[in-house]
Amino acid sequence: MPDPIKKSFLLGWFFAILIAAIIKYVYMNKWDKIFESKPKYKPLNDIFFQKLLEKVKKEINPNLKNIIDLGCGTSRSVFQFARMGFDVVGVDFSEVALSALQNDIDDSDFNNIKLINQDLNDITLDLEADIFICVFTYTFINDKEKFLKKIKSSMKEDSVFVLITPVTHENVKYLEIDKPQIAVEYSSTVKLLKSVFSVVEDYHHDYIGAREDYVTFLVKK
C-alpha cells in the first residue's frame, strides 16, 4: 500500500503541474485571441531610434550587428530593424502572432529576420545580442525580476537593454481606470532595474496625454 505522505506529495505535485498548465493555456489563448483580431502596431519613430543608436554606438558599442525584439507580436519593428541592417530575432509567446508575422516576412525581401516562440515569463533559450529591446511588453511579464536577470545573464559587457514601457506615478490619480493594468509604476521599476543592472539611464520620458506617458530606459549589464 502506498505511503500516505508520498501519495499526498505526488497528488500535490500533479495538481501543481495541472494548474500551471491551465494558467499557461489561458494566458496563451488570451494573446492568440488578441492577435487573431489583427491589431495594428506602429514601429518606433525612426528619428528617435536613430538617435538612440547613435548614443549607444558612441558611448557603449560602435559595432552593433544584431538585435532581439522581446515580445515582438505582429509589430513592424522587426522590419524596421532589418532595414537598418541588423540581424533580427523576434521573440513572442503567441503562435498566432508569429504565424502572421512569418507570412509577412516570407512576402518580403528580408532574409535577416528569425522568429522564436518563447514565453517571456520563462525564457529557456540562450540568447545573445548587441541590443535587447522590449517595447510595451514589460507590463505583462509576471516575474519581472526573473525576466531581467535572464536578460542580464544573456548580455555581453557591451550589450544594451532598451526597455520602453508605459508608466504610472505614485500619488497620481488617473482618469482612465485601466491605466495601472497597462503600465508599471515608475519608482519601483527604477528600483528593480538598479538592483539587477549596473547602469540604468532614464533616456527619454514622454508626457503626452494620460495613456502615452512612457519611459525609455537604456540599461547596461
Q: What is the per-residue DSSP string for 27-75? A: HHHHHHHHHHT--------HHHHHHHHHHHHHHT-S---EEEEET-TT-
Q: What percent of the chain has pLDDT over 70?
A: 75
CATH assignment, 46-220? 3.40.50.150
Round to whole Å and give the CA distance between 197 and 143: 16
Whether residue 210 contacts residue 162, with contact meaning beta carbons closer than 8 Å, is answered with: no
Per-residue pLDDT tens digits for 44-53: 788 889 999 9
Q: Identify the burial level of 204 via C-beta atoms within 10 angstroms of its C-beta, where 0-12 means exposed, 13-18 middle and 19 or more buried.
A: middle
Instruction: Read off the pLDDT of each residue in 84-91 and give the average, rounded to a whole number.
Output: 95
Q: For residue 132, name the pLDDT band (cuts at 50, 70, 90).
A: very high
Cell numbers for 159, please give them: 550589450
Instruction: Read off the pLDDT of each residue in 55-65 and give the average, rounded to a whole number.
Output: 94
Whether residue 64 contacts residue 30, with contact meaning beta carbons closer than 8 Å, is answered with: no
Which SS3 state, helix, strand or coil, does residue 218 take? strand
| Residues 163, 166, 171: CA angle, nearest 5 degrees | 125
**Which of 76-80, 124-128, 152-156, 197-201 shows the lowest mean pLDDT across its residues?**
124-128
Cell numbers for 37, please give them: 483580431
- Domain limits, the chain: 1-37, 46-220
Determine which helix (DSSP H) or strand (DSSP E) holds 6, and give its type and residue range.
helix 4-36
Cell numbers for 18, please give them: 495541472
Per-residue pLDDT tens digits for 157-196: 999 999 999 888 887 777 666 666 778 999 999 999 999 9
